[in-house]
Structure 1
């Protein structure tokens, strides 16, 4: 595992260390099935980077914007499948490809929102309209085996992806969506609507990976921003997990996936220990694995970056 991990220096050492501590003990026996929708390249490794670097994940990626898709295909690591598909509510749609690639969406920008948030460039910079045919996640060939971890950053289309993936997500344990607190695009669903869709499929909100805030514009904005004032919530990445309130509703493999993800994908050693305890009760892991992991997790969380 270490050689592969070192080949991806942007993966956090902490994630690699904690994954190493738990991976051998849970012995999943297969690769974690990761799906990422809106998978364009960024400078940062994705949350599942440690799993991928260790050769423990197969990643199915979706990116409909042609240049971004080509870049992904050119640099796709081993055990990665890339599709040039737009996931959402099935049917024709328009992809609004923004000059700032991360702002590309199937929803047009809300000009009043852009003005209020001081983001006039959202509507002033070039946008290329690309006709696309949206595909439901359940209709994608090759996902018949299911999904363990789903990551989405598709600028407002996350709820539609969830609604069209009930079969593909039936065994999924982790969903990491971008969630919107303040509407950026006309017609996009907000956090409350996405939350309802996820809860209807058995997921519960576990934590936020990060939240982004912007400063409300005024003639004093520059002065206030120097003091760190940014109070208008905009968006963020959330972590939803399948409810394990009744452990009998999830399989041993599902608990192992959740333990691996909690250790290395979204920094939740307490949840990892909870899963390891349940696995211990099933006789699926060594009795001391949870304690060993917890002893290593405490200094790792404090010392490693």
Structure 2
């Protein structure tokens, strides 16, 4: 197909418009920007790729993306650098338009997950994306974003996940009470994270998997309930959990941000479950 050369063409404008939520809802599509995210989309979910665009230079530099797309029967079009920049200023010469993967909480629970991140009213896209990436790295099997949380298909969330959005199920639009009840019914312990929690994470790690105990067992299948960046979890949300856990602060920092706390908590559970022989274990160690 001929190279796209007009940055003001209707096709280019329609791709750029997907940066807005209303356009995503109307089109049933979302924007994936940059080689890392597009690479993981093409590798992991090729059927979700609706459109794929690269500059000639990017197609040569990232031949693995073009090759994976060709192997999966996904066509691509080339465009000038001006066209790709008009589609997305963060494209780095590579842009895809993707179809969201329809997933329900029931779909996820049917797979018997042992580690889940549950985000309640998390609205910062960078934080949400970082938690999805951390959940993927820790070996969690799903992330659930309750109603009033950020759209995981917004461009900043997608970029922040660095491709992890396409590695594990991400469920949206579930009420918190419904999510907690469903997770608990599926056999998961629901632990809320809060700086005022009655249980210290270090203490729980010391006794995890050692047998019957009054404290929550981190080696058990677990869903971590994480609250809003600014105000955390209100009392009524903490009350829904089986227990409230705090991450100890050994230095002089006032607190940890949401994504950092989520990473610590998810890795603590993954370690405890791995000692017991659970399924939550990551194979990679790359940081980037």
For normalisation by structure 1, the TM-score amounts to: 0.22
For normalisation by structure 2, the TM-score amounts to: 0.23
Structure with the higher strand share, 1 or 2: 1
